[in-house]
Structure 1
Amino acid sequence: MYEFIVFIHVLSAILSIGPFFVLFPLLNRMHDKSGEVLHSQIEVFQASIRIVKHAGHVLVVSGVLLMWQGNWPWSTSWVVMTIVVMISSIVFLAKAFKPKIRQFQAGVIDSSTLIKRLNSSVWQYILLLLIMLWFMVVKPNLW
């Protein structure tokens, strides 16, 4: 059973970071677009974020099951740091994308500003996920 949970955990980790790399070409195509074309591209962007969000739910549940099955103490430094980065990424995800898209839809920012901010947010989120991935794979003993 442990091996199956590891497989699910790795698969959900891939699904929680993979769609972000697809967003870069999409963001590049969004330049100089308007109307329905831009709107449909924003919908694809939001769908990718939803995939990432739901994969993150599976990632957390499978991670808790692995902690339980693997007898890792919750006070282990890499576990604590993974949880800290995970909570940070949840807060970041909530503030990074949907509010910016809403600002664009409300006419507060233009499409060029939206694309720049979304691109920056994607890179920042990937960095957070890579840090979390490093803690889970390397399992450093920090204290």
Structure 2
Amino acid sequence: MKWLVLIHIMSSIIGIGPTYFGHILFRKRQQVGELRRSLELFQILNFFPKIGGTIAVLSGLLLVWLGGWSFVTFWIIASLILYIAIQVVAVGLLGPITAKLQKELNSPKLSTEQEIPRESILLLAKANGLYYTASALGVILFILMIIKP
């Protein structure tokens, strides 16, 4: 059971941790080339929430089942809802925005040293807002895991 707890905690950190890098990657004061590179890094970092998050959910469900807890316990339900909300924000909402942003930035009209166009700045602001939302939900999720009964 201790190994399962360790796997659950580590996969949770690895799964949600990269969410906090989005604030650095999607900072406003970048040139086109820097933001292009940030979007490439974003795609690489997205690998971790997909794998780590899946392992965290599966190991968490296994812990509930083996630990004799009930799925009607508040912190378990709240944790699952928060995790699903993070996935919806990070994958469902943020993914299409970053894809559109990347498409705009890959325009041959833009040089790497050029300032980010206004349309792209608006998309960048939306992406940042979603990252802050996912980060806040992640903090709440970690708090629930720490103070659970």
Given the two structures, how large is their TM-score scaled by the length of structure 2?
Answer: 0.79
Name the counterpart of 2:127: 118
| Conservation of the 8 A alpha-carbon contact between 1:31 and 1:115 | no
Name the counterpart of 1:57: 54
Instruction: Please list the CA deviations of residues 39-91 of structure 1 after superposition, one character each: whole Å capped at 9, or x if unmatched.
Output: 23201012212212221001001101111221111111211221222222222
Alignment of 1:1-143 (within 5 A): 2-28=1-27, 31-35=29-33, 37-107=34-104, 110-139=119-148
The code of the aligned residue for 2:22 comes to L
The code of the aligned residue for 2:18 comes to P
3-state DSSP of counterpart to 1:110 = helix
Size of the aligned set, in residue pairs, is 137
The code of the aligned residue for 2:35 comes to L
Instruction: Please list the CA deviations of residues 2-25 of structure 1 after superposition, one character each: whole Å capped at 9, or x if unmatched.
Output: 101111111111112222223322
Return the alpha-carbon distance in structure 2 between the equivalents of residues 72 and 40 of structure 1.
Answer: 45
Unaligned segments of structure 1, at least 5 residues? none
**Greater relative contact order, per chain length (Cα 8 Å cut-off, separation 6+):** 2
Percent identity, aligned pairs only? 28
The code of the aligned residue for 1:51 comes to F
**How well do the aligned residues superpose, as a CA RMSD in angstroms?**
2.2
Unaligned segments of structure 2, at least 5 residues? 105-117
| Conservation of the 8 A alpha-carbon contact between 2:39 and 2:102 | no
Return the alpha-carbon distance in structure 2 between the equivalents of residues 45 and 16 of structure 1.
Answer: 14
Return the alpha-carbon distance in structure 2 between the equivalents of residues 31 and 115 of structure 1.
Answer: 11
| Conservation of the 8 A alpha-carbon contact between 1:31 and 1:112 | no
Residues 23 and 92 of structure 1, relative CA distance in 2, 3 Å threshold: closer
